[in-house]
Amino acid sequence: MCAIFSARLRNGQRPSIFEDGRQTRDFVHVADIVQANLLAMERRPAPARRHVGTGADSVAEIARLLRHRDGTTLEPEINGQFPRSDIRHCAPNIARARAFARLRATA
């Protein structure tokens, strides 16, 4: 989604957002995923699976942040269409990852 929004902005097009733009997603940078995997590999036995996340943001807010980053004034276009198979909110439960980080900090 971020790549699509950025590409549209770089090409002088407004990002197109479904619904009302207030649906939420957890956008995680690949560096955060790599760090989580490296930390998990250091621990023996290997920890059970964990969700990695940074917290949910609205899709419209992400589009606006990308607009500012790219230095454009193009506002996202909120089209009001509701995709049939989409979900309103999507964010991982990162409680286990936080607990693992706290344990690691005290070790």
Give me the CATH number covering residue 6: 3.90.25.10
pLDDT digits (tens, 9 = 90+) for 22-61: 898 888 888 888 888 887 777 766 666 667 777 778 889 9
pLDDT score recorded for residue 107: 59
Show the domain range for 94: 2-106
* pLDDT for position 48: 64
Domain count, the chain: 1
55-71 pLDDT tens trace: 778 889 988 888 888 77
Q: Would the pTM of this model clear 0.75, i.e. be above it?
A: no
Location of structure tokens 């506002």: 75
